[in-house]
Amino acid sequence: MTGVLPVALENATKAMPVLMGLDKEYVGVMHLHKEVDEGLLGETVANFIGKIIQTPPVKSAVARRPREREIKYFDIVEIDGKDVLFKVGCEAGTYIRKLVHDIGQEMKVGAHMSELRRTKAGNFTEDQAHSLVFVKDAYEIWKEGNEKMLKEILIPVEYAILHVKKVFVKDSAIDAVCHGAPLFASGICRIQKDIQRGETVAVYSLKEELVALGIAKMTSEEMLKAKKNMAVRTDRVFMEIGVYQMLTNI
């Protein structure tokens, strides 16, 4: 398999837990063991859109127990004899090879995946991807003092977590959060809607700088009404104390 793979560096590695569950998109080739009617293929594929129960394949890194996954869409792009070019969007943890096999079993003709490319992972698309050769060259040139190529590659961590709901805090609350203290309701200025208890949220400064990730201890509505008490338990701090103090002195 080839395609998009987000790689985190330095402090951004703290965001990886919230990136693991991002939806994925793939383009692949399903090779049918016998030619089938295009109508039958379309009807069968439609049965696999939505919530499905999938058992991981024998060669997998997880226990082989049935589990629910969601197929967002499965588009047939082109059919060439027994080869079917498709594009699929799915929940993280979906085995596309197994999905193709199950579709073949459903049609009673058999099928296997002959090619697969990941074209999207969360907010990251193939247009933003760079080859490993390009990355290596950019790094070598950076060591020589030229950071132009490296700047083409690097993406701010804030972009990676656009799917995470936000809580904006007063400047006076940032120092405590940077030291790992919880965020209290009194330190909050703005809140994104529909935050639920236990949900991971991103704590931002009023300048929209990522301060930390934390676990919501209140819903959005409760945070708005509360005068005190813990609103977010700080989990992973991104803003360094020295950087925060420098920004506040500007």
Q: Return the sign of the alpha-carbon dihedral for residues 104, 100, 37, 47.
A: positive
**Residue 241: per-residue pLDDT:** 63
**Would the pLDDT of 219 be above 90?**
yes
Q: Is residue 228 part of a domain?
A: yes
* pLDDT surpasses 90 at 245: no
**164 located within any domain:** yes
Decide: residue 131, CB within 10 A, 0-12 exposed, 13-18 middle, 19+ buried. exposed
Residue 72: Cβ within 10 Å count: 14
Among 43-52, 53-62, 95-104, 229-238, name the one with the lowest average pLDDT.
Answer: 53-62
Q: Is 80 exceeded by the pLDDT of residue 250?
A: no
For the chain, what's the residue count? 250
pLDDT at 21 over 90: no
Q: Do 29 and 105 fall within a single domain?
A: yes
What is the average per-residue pLDDT within 182-205?
94
**Does the residue 89 lie in any domain?**
yes
Whether residue 249 is predicted with pLDDT greater than 60 in this model: the reply is: no
Residue 15 in any domain: the answer is: no
- 100: tokens are 């193709």
The answer to the question of residue 33 being in a domain is yes
Q: Say whether both 32 and 115 belong to one domain.
A: yes
Arithmetic mean of pLDDT over the chain: 90
pLDDT at 246 > cutoff 50: no
| Number of folded domains that form the chain | 3
Residue 226 lies in a domain: yes
Residue-range definition of the domain harbouring residue 188: 158-249
Name the more confident of 244 and 144: 144
Evaluate if residue 248 carries a pLDDT over 60. Answer: no
CA dihedral 172, 174, 176, 179 (to 10 degrees): -150
Q: What is the pLDDT of residues 38-72, one digit of tens each?
A: 999 999 999 999 999 998 887 777 778 899 999 99
pLDDT at position 11, please? 87
Same-domain pairing of 89 and 35: yes
Give residue 226's pLDDT band: very low, low, confident or very high (50, 70, 90): confident
pLDDT of residue 183: 95
161-189 residue pLDDT tens = 999 999 999 999 999 999 999 999 999 99
And the tokens for 17? 């837990």
User: Would residue 110 count as lying in a domain?
Assistant: yes
Mapping DSSP onto H, E and C, the string for the chain reads CEECCCCCCHHHHHHHHHHCCCCEEEEEEEEECCCCCHHHHHHHHHCCCEEEEECCCCCCCCCCCCEEEEEEEEEEEEEECCEEEEEEEECCCCCHHHHHHHHHHHCCCCEEEEEEEEEEECCEEHHHCCCHHHHHHHHHHHHCCCCHHHHHHCCCHHHHCCCCCEEEECHHHHHHHHCCCCEEHHHEEEECCCCCCCCEEEEECCCCCEEEEEEECCCHHHHHHCCCCEEEEEEEECCCHHHHHHHHHC
- Measured CA to CA, the distance from residue 18 to residue 182 in angstroms comes to 19
Q: What is the pLDDT of residues 110-150, one digit of tens each?
A: 999 999 999 999 889 998 899 989 999 999 999 999 999 98
